[in-house]
Amino acid sequence: METVALSSKGQFVLPKSIRDLHHWGAGTRFVVIDRGSEVVLKPAAPFAPTAFESPDCCPVGMVKRLSLAEMEQAIAAEAGKNDRH
């Protein structure tokens, strides 16, 4: 177990062995959690949590559904473009 000292500015340095172990470089941001008798440092997530749409929600950009015949026609048209080269 290693110890660190708090500076007059309220700063301390995490030991290099711990930074290397967790691949924490300069600028890594942390969430500070106060649990009464202990303080926990947890790396902040780089992105906000993803919020998924409800399954009963209509997807953004939903368009008219195509029939099987319309899909086959579109596929044939696209495939025909490659035959012209």
Helix (H), strand (E) at residue 32: strand 30-34
Model confidence, pTM = 0.50
Q: What is the mean pLDDT of residues 12-33?
A: 93
Which whole number is the average pLDDT over 22-41? Answer: 93
Q: Say what the pLDDT of residue 57 is.
A: 65
pLDDT of residue 37: 95
C-alpha 8/C-alpha 13 separation (Å) is 13
Q: pLDDT tens, 33-85?
A: 999 999 999 999 877 777 776 666 666 666 677 889 999 998 999 888 766 55
d(CA 18, CA 4) in angstroms, rounded, equals 12
Amino acid symbol at 43: P
